[in-house]
């Protein structure tokens, strides 16, 4: 645990001292605020529903932009091979870096909290769906992040990592969508729904937290972080 905390602090410090992290944060906040106020004045309703509908698609590009450097940059600079020579378990390295990126992502998402205050002042929204909406958004972002970490561990090229991560995240989110459902037998729909990031995200953002949704996200994240550790282990053995 001590090693994980040390790696976490080191990685997070590298984020907050880098202008790139602030570019990600500002870009996300500007776009989400612009979209919210545009919908607010057009529709004339004090609601965050449009915010949570848009969040998965903004994160679809933001998160891979964050994760693409996680291992690709380490490989390109040669620091990954150097890190693997230390008496550090692969999973400790993965978790430490992942938690630092997750904290950055969480702070970015929570940076939109003033919108909650505004909506509460202007209207009388149901707080339940807002709270679960933020929880769902963070869990979805963490899932995208886990995918991005795994993909980044497979290549030195950040652009390739970025594109492949977007593709996998996109597919994972739309796995139970009407488009996919139309092309597959009805018997497969329930199975695909249970594997879909989008299905569980929509379930949480409705205002009810189901243990099955939380379990799914934790398992999904753990699976891709495990794959990430396997890739690092194979590199160490190689």
Percent of the chain with pLDDT over 70: 84
**How many of the other CB atoms lie within 10 Å of CB of 14?**
13
- Say if residue 193's pLDDT is above 80: no
Q: Give residue 119's pLDDT.
A: 87
- Say if residue 179's pLDDT is above 80: no
User: Which of 5-9, 34-38, 42-46 has the highest mean predicted lDDT (pLDDT)?
Assistant: 5-9
Half-sphere CA count of 234, side-chain side, radius 13 A? 8
Question: Please, which pLDDT band fits residue 148 given cuts at 50, 70 and 90?
Answer: very high
More confident residue, 14 or 111: 111
Q: Give residue 215's pLDDT.
A: 96
Q: How many separate domains does the chain show?
A: 1
Nearest-Å Rg of the Cα atoms of the chain is 19
Question: Please, which pLDDT band fits residue 64 given cuts at 50, 70 and 90?
Answer: very high
- Say if residue 6's pLDDT is above 90: no
Task: Determine which of 14-28, 50-64, 218-232 has the lowest per-residue pLDDT on average.
Answer: 14-28
The token pair that represents 236 in the structure block = 């160490």
Q: Which domain holds residue 79?
A: 2-237
The token pair that represents 111 in the structure block = 């940076």
- Say if residue 220's pLDDT is above 60: yes
d(CA 92, CA 235): 16
More confident residue, 63 or 174: 63
The token pair that represents 39 in the structure block = 């919908």
More confident residue, 77 or 64: 64
Residue whose C-alpha is closest to residue 101's, from 57, 144, 55, 158: 144
Q: What is the 3-state secondary structure (H, E, C) of the chain?
A: CHHHHHHHHHHHHHHHCCHHHHHHHHHHHHHHHHHHHHHHHHHCCCCCHHHHHHHHHHHHHHHHHHHCCCCHHHHHHCHHHHHCCCCCCHHHHHHHHHHHHHHHHHHHHHCCHHHHHHHHHHCCCCHHHHHHHHHHHHHHHHHHHHHHHHHHCCCCCHHHHHHHHHHHHHHHHCCCCHHHHHHCCHHHHHHHHHHCHHHHHHHHHCCCCCHHHHHHHHHHHHHHHHHHHHHHHHHHHC
Q: Give residue 48's pLDDT.
A: 85
Question: Please, which pLDDT band fits residue 181 given cuts at 50, 70 and 90?
Answer: low
Q: Give residue 72's pLDDT.
A: 73
Q: Give residue 77's pLDDT.
A: 63
Q: Give residue 95's pLDDT.
A: 94
State the average pLDDT over residues 142-168: 94
- Say if residue 238's pLDDT is above 60: no
For the chain, the straight-line distance linking the first and the last C-alpha, in angstroms and rounded, comes to 27
Report the mean per-residue pLDDT for the chain: 86
d(CA 201, CA 137): 7
- Say if residue 36's pLDDT is above 70: yes
């Amino acid at each position: 645990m001590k090693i994980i905390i040390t790696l976490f602090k080191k990685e997070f410090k590298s984020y907050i001292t880098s202008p790139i992290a602030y570019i990600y944060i500002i870009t996300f906040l500007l776009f989400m605020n612009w979209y919210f106020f545009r919908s607010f004045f057009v529709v004339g309703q004090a609601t965050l529903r449009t915010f949570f509908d848009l969040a998965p698609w903004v994160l679809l590009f933001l998160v891979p932009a964050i994760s693409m450097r996680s291992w690709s940059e380490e490989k390109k600079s040669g620091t990954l091979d150097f890190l693997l020579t230390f008496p550090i378990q692969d999973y400790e390295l993965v978790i430490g870096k992942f938690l630092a990126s997750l904290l950055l992502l969480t702070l970015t998402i929570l940076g939109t909290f003033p919108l909650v205050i505004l909506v509460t002042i202007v209207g009388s929204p149901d707080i339940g769906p807002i709270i679960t909406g933020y929880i769902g958004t963070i869990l979805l972002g963490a899932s995208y992040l886990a995918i991005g970490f795994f993909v980044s561990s497979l290549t030195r090229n950040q652009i390739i990592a970025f594109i492949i991560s977007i593709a996998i995240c996109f597919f994972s989110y739309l796995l139970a969508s009407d488009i996919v459902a139309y092309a597959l037998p009805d018997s497969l729909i329930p199975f695909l729904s249970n594997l879909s990031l989008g299905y569980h995200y929509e379930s949480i953002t409705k205002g009810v937290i189901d243990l099955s949704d939380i379990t799914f996200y934790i398992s999904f994240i753990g699976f891709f972080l495990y794959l990430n550790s396997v890739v690092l282990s194979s590199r160490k053995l190689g």
